[in-house]
Amino acid sequence: MQRLLVVDDDPSMVRLLSRLLAGMARIHFATSGEDALLQIRQNPPDLVLLDAEMPGLGGYETCRQLKADPALVHVPVIFVTAHTDTASETHALTIGAVDFIPKPLNPPVVQARVRTHLALKRQSDVLRRLTATDALTGIANRRAFDDGLQLEWRRALRSHAPLSLLMVDVDYFKRFNDTYGHPAGDACLRAVARVLAQTARRAGDLVARYGGEEFALFLPATNAFDAFRLGESLCQGVAALGIPHAASSAAAHVTVSVGVATLVLPCDGAEPPRAACHDCDQAPHCLAAPEALLALADEALYAAKADGRARVVDRVGIVGQGYEADA
* Catalytic center residues: 213
Cis-peptide, bond into residue 104, ω within 30° of zero? yes
Burial 303-326 (b: 16+ CB within 10 A, else e): bbbeeebbbbbbbbbbbbeebeeb
